[in-house]
Amino acid sequence: MAKYLIGLYDDEDKLLSAVEAFQKEGIPIHEVCTPFPVHGLDHALHLKKSRLPDAAFVYGAMGTLTALSMQIYMYTIDWPINIGGKSHLPFPSFIPITFELTILFAGVLMFLSYLFVNRLYPGRRARVYDVRQTDDAMVMAIADEKVWDQARDLFRKTGAFEAKIVEL
Amino acid sequence: MFESPIREPLILGHKTYRQITTDLASPILGPASWKWYLTTAFTAAVMLAGFGAIAYTLWVGIGTWGLNKTVGWAFDITNFVFWIGIGHAGTLISAILLLFRQRWRMAINRAAEAMTIFAVICAGLFPIIHMGRPWLAFWFLPLPNTHGSLWVNFNSPLLWDVFAISTYFTISLLFWYTGLIPDLAMVRDRAKPGSFAYYAYSILSFGWTGSAKQWQRFEAVSLVLAGLSTPLVLSVHSIVSFDFATSILPGWHTTIFPPYFVAGAIFSGFGMVLTLMIITREVLDLKDYITLEHIDAMAKVTLATGMMVGFAYATEFFIAWYSGSYWERYIFLNRAFGPYWWSYWAMVSCNLLIPQVFWFKKLRRSPWFVFVISIFVNIGMWFERFVIIVTSLHRDFLSSSWRMYTPTWVEVTIFVGTIGLFLTLYLLFARFLPVIAAAETKSILKTSGDQYAGLSWEAYQTKKRQGAAAPAFQPAMDPDTPQS
């Protein structure tokens, strides 16, 4: 059971200026939870850019290679069939399946990576500071008990409509 | 941020974030009305009738259908292409409109993606039943086997179809679910802790909390999945059209098929989205989210894609004449004036002529009128596939083998059964999942809600009524600067 001081905001602009104010004061922000994606919040929190798109490219390339090697092995190497003298390596015919498997690998593996890096899985207990964080409130959580007094002050100054201590 | 005064608000009713949550979560957590039970019971009965007809087909054989040696593909493949086409609007709305940053997609993308998934389920049934021995459907997969191993034929567009449709289904499902997770968490937090709904939505929402890092990854994944789905949706119907276009049959052997099929798919998909969304906004009282502006925009897409398919019909005729091929010319004259003339003209009038009413803004903004037109679009696009498949086949190169095709009650029941399946799945979706992407709608509230964007809009309307010139650059209430 960890204790957090949370401040609730009802407006994303207040939240963004609050994040800036907290950083200026040097108060470490544990987490910010919002009911919808807030533009600029990741920059304000100095979050590193997600590398999932890069991973998707690698997964896609894996799909391309899998599809091409599968088709070439089956159709050209393992059992070449003479169909009216057509090529044993009909590259244009391989394009549709290669394309589809590229998309399939990139999409499925990226989705699984997304769940993995976010630690999302069926049955996981959600660590919800306040149920309003999926409704209409943006929640900023401060973990370090030493700065709580300072943080409570700053919550008031930056326009949080509520500040309280929660345990989860 | 500047909002143009001529851009209409997308969310009406001066909504707050809390109201959006309530509007979307309360129908899920509240009790269902008797009307919902009655409708679902009816569609489920229709679905079961269809399953019965499928069982009868499998028990007795494909001979229960109206197929003959000349017309070997008819109702089932028509239905297959029809359902696959229905699905395409969902991917278009969620993926292509996301890449184009069209905000009006937010109100309809969830339901349209759901339709994609359900339509692909319906579509997938048909080729499998048509195999006659569906328990051997796995022969389509490149698996090692005891015949050698004799592999599948990678030259065959039918095999490409297997890969295309299954990829399409999987990616659509993942895309849909990615967007659903935050909204399921929203429903979870509204349910009474300890109740069954709370546990069910806890499991389904995967423990989502909405932290800044999660949202950052969410946006990255959504964008990449949209980027992947866009070429995917174009490839799927192109590959479906290859089933026909790579043959040497007059009427099928045309290079225009891929773009023609893709435009037709988007056209028919928007027809179905309009049909269901007009009912949904009425029944679930979502008129503030699915506004006349949305219906207007969808009607415009329908008009544009309808004219594209109309253009393709004309091009086919021109090429048939210009090719100088006797067979090609005959097949097209036979299509329009042969024994199946009625299906050809049903197609042309439903797809090309009737949607022309959408040139008028007043008609685009009358929901029930649009609803009637959307039914015509659905009918017309079904006939398009029937025309392409049956009229090209029924009179082949030898006049001694010319045959007519008439569906039997079994085929009709299977088709009606898939409509029941589609509607049952949609009704379950509308009952248990948020039909509108709540988080995304909240994220555009400050730019598209009528109390923000609407200030300038209302001012513009009033000024217009008073006969004054439109305010040239009236700055809207700036949502990016904090209000005091």
Residue B428: predicted pLDDT? 93
**pLDDT at position B461, please?**
61
User: How many H-runs (helices) and E-runs (strands) does chain A carry?
Assistant: 5, 4
Residue A41 lies in a domain: no
Measured CA to CA, the distance from residue B434 to residue B203 in angstroms comes to 16
Cα Rg for chain A, rounded, in angstroms? 25
Q: Tell me how close the Cα of B145 comes to any Cα of chain A, in angstroms.
A: 12
> Is A31 domain-assigned?
yes
- CA dist B250 → B52, B67, B229, B382 (Å): 36, 20, 32, 21
Quick one: A142 and A111 in the same domain?
no
User: Taking 50 as the threshold, does the pLDDT of residue B482 lie above it?
Assistant: no
pLDDT > 90 fraction of chain B, expressed in percent and rounded: 49
Rg (CA), chain B: 24
Residue A160 with chain B: CB contacts under 8 Å: none
How far apart, in whole angstroms, are the C-alpha atoms of residue B178 and residue A149?
A: 39
Q: For residue A130, tell me if it sits in a domain.
A: no
Query: Is residue B50 pLDDT above 70, yes or no?
Result: yes
Q: Report the alpha-carbon distance of residue B390 to residue B404 in Å, rounded.
A: 9
The predicted pLDDT at position A28 comes to 87
Cα distance between residue B92 and residue B393, in whole Å: 32
The pLDDT value given to residue B484: 40
Query: Predicted confidence band at B463 (pLDDT cuts at 50, 70, 90)?
Result: low
pLDDT in tens, chain A (168 residues): 788 888 898 888 888 888 988 888 888 888 899 999 988 888 888 888 889 999 999 999 999 999 999 999 998 898 888 888 888 888 899 999 999 999 999 999 999 999 999 989 998 888 888 888 888 889 999 888 888 888 888 888 888 888 888 888
User: Tens digit of pLDDT for each residue in B126-139?
Assistant: 999 998 888 998 88
Helix (H, G, I), strand (E, B) or coil at A141: strand
Q: Clarify whether residues A107 and A150 are in a common domain.
A: no
B215: which chain A residues are within 8 Å (Cβ-Cβ)? Answer: 34, 36-38, 41-42
How far apart are the C-alpha atoms of B312 and B308, rounded to whole Å?
6
Indicate the residue of A39, A110, A119 with minimum beta-carbon distance to B221: A110
Identify the residue among A103, A108, A128, A132 best suited for mutation to test binding to B, counting B beta carbons within 10 A and taking the highest. Answer: A103
Q: Is the pLDDT of residue B35 over 90?
A: no
d(CA B450, CA B456): 9
User: Looking at the DSSP assignment, which residues form a beta bridge with residue A164?
Assistant: A6
Give the gap in angstroms from C-alpha B341 to the nearest C-alpha of chain A.
35
pLDDT higher than 50, residue B475: no
Collapsing DSSP states into helix, strand and coil, what is residue B283? helix
Portion 434-463 of B in contact with A at CB < 8 A = 438-440, 442-443, 446
| Cβ–Cβ below 8 Å for B154 and A94 | yes
| Interface contact flag, B239 A96, Cβ < 8 Å | yes
Chain B residues within an 8 Å CB radius of A103 = 167, 171, 228, 231-232
Contact assignment for B211 to A31 by CB distance below 8 Å:
yes
Tokens 């209302």 belong to residue: B458
Residue contact A97–B160, C-beta within 8 A: yes
Residue A102 within a domain: yes
Question: Residue A163: which domain range?
Answer: 3-35+136-167
Shared domain check, A89 and A59: yes
Q: Considering its fold, how many domains does chain A have in total?
A: 2
pLDDT at residue B105 greater than cutoff 90: no
Instruction: Judge whether residue B78 has pLDDT over 90.
Output: yes
Q: How many CA atoms lie within 13 A of B481 on its CB side?
A: 6
3-state SS track over B194-251: CCHHHHHHHHHCCCCCCEHHHHHHHHHHHHHHHHHHHHHHHHHHHHHHHHHHCCCCCC
Spatial separation of the C-alpha atoms in residues B287 and B284, rounded to whole Å: 9
CB within 8 Å: A122 and B149:
no
pLDDT above 70: residue B6: no
Residue B1: its pLDDT value, please? 47
**Closest residue, chain B, to A50 (C-alpha):** B217
For chain B, the average pLDDT equals 87
The predicted model gives B70-87 an average pLDDT of 91
Contact flag A90-B174 (C-beta cutoff 8 Å):
no
**Cβ-proximal residues to B322 (8 Å cutoff; 6+ apart), any chain:** none
A80 and A110 fall within a common domain = yes
Q: Is the dihedral of CA B142, B144, B145, B146 positive or negative?
A: positive
Sorted by where each starts, the structural domains of chain B and their CATH numbers stand as: 17-141+148-450 (1.20.1630.10)
Peptide bond into B33 cis (omega under 30): no
Dihedral pair phi/psi, residue B211, rounded to 5°: -70, 160
- Out of B139-153, B374-388, B432-446, give the one with best mean pLDDT: B374-388
DSSP one-letter code for B143: -
Mean pLDDT of B290-302: 89
- Put simply, the chain B residues between 44 and 103 with a CB less than 8 A from any chain A CB are none
CA A147 to CA B431: how far, in whole Å?
A: 46
Q: Do B142 and A94 touch (CB under 8 A)?
A: no
Cβ of residue B210 closer than 8 Å to a chain A Cβ: yes
- Does A163 fall in a domain? yes
Q: Which DSSP category does B287 fall into? A: T
Residue B395, pLDDT above cutoff 80: yes
CA nearest B384: which of B157, B65, B82, B71? B82
Cα–Cα distance, B451 to B81 (Å, whole number): 44
- Give the pairing type, strands A31-33 and A162-167: unpaired
Q: Tell me: do A58 and A98 sit in the same domain.
A: yes
Residue B283 has a pLDDT of: 85
pLDDT reported for residue A161: 87
Contact B435, B282 (CB under 8 A): no
β-sheet with A162-167: strand ranges across: A31-33, A138-142, A3-9, A162-167
Contact B120, B83 (CB under 8 A): yes
Q: Do both A102 and A58 map to the same domain?
A: yes
Do residues A59 and A98 both lie within one domain? Answer: yes
Per the listing, tokens 């044993």 go with A88
Q: Are residues A158 and A112 in the same domain?
A: no
Using the beta-carbon criterion (under 8 Å), do B224 and A119 form an inter-chain contact?
Answer: no
Q: Which amino acid is at B361?
A: K
Helices B409-432 and B257-283 pack at an angle, to 10 degrees, of 50
Are A61 and A86 within one domain? yes
Angle at B472 between CA B466 and CA B475, to 5 degrees: 105
β-strands A138-142, A162-167 pairing: unpaired
A111 in any annotated domain = yes
Query: Choosing among A36, A47, A94, which should be mutated to test the B contact, i.e. which has the most B CBs within 10 A?
Result: A36
- The residue among B418 and B441 whose pLDDT is bigger is B418
pLDDT in tens, B422-438: 999 999 999 899 999 88
Chain A residue with the nearest C-alpha to that of B189: A131
A95 occurs within a structural domain: yes
pLDDT at B472: 46
Query: Does B154 contact A at CB distance below 8 Å?
Result: yes
How far apart CA B260 and CA B308 sit, in angstroms, is 7
Assigned token pair, A119: 């630690």
In this structure, what CATH number is given to the domain that contains residue A23? 3.30.70.120
A89 and A145 together in one domain: no
Nearest CA-CA distance, residue B312 and chain A, Å: 24
Q: Which of residues 24-43 of A touch B (CB under 8 A)?
A: 31-39, 41-42
- pLDDT for position B375: 93
Quick one: which of B400, B262, B249 has its CA closest to B332? B249
Q: How far apart are CA B126 and CA B273, in angstroms?
A: 22
Mean pLDDT across the stretch B325-354? 91
> What residues 68-127 of chain A have any CB closer than 8 A to a CB of chain B?
70-71, 74-75, 78-79, 83, 86, 90, 93-94, 96-97, 99-101, 103-104, 106-108, 110-111, 114-115, 117-127
Q: Is the pLDDT of residue B387 over 70?
A: yes
Is B157 close to A127, i.e. CB distance below 8 A? Answer: no
Q: Is the pLDDT of residue B466 over 70?
A: no
A20 domain-assigned = yes
Same domain, A104 and A141: no
Quick: pLDDT tens for B168-221.
Answer: 999 999 999 999 999 999 999 888 888 898 999 999 999 899 899 999 999 999
In the A/B pair of chains, how many CB contacts fall below 8 A? Answer: 205
pLDDT (0 to 100) of residue B473: 44
Residue B178, pLDDT score: 93
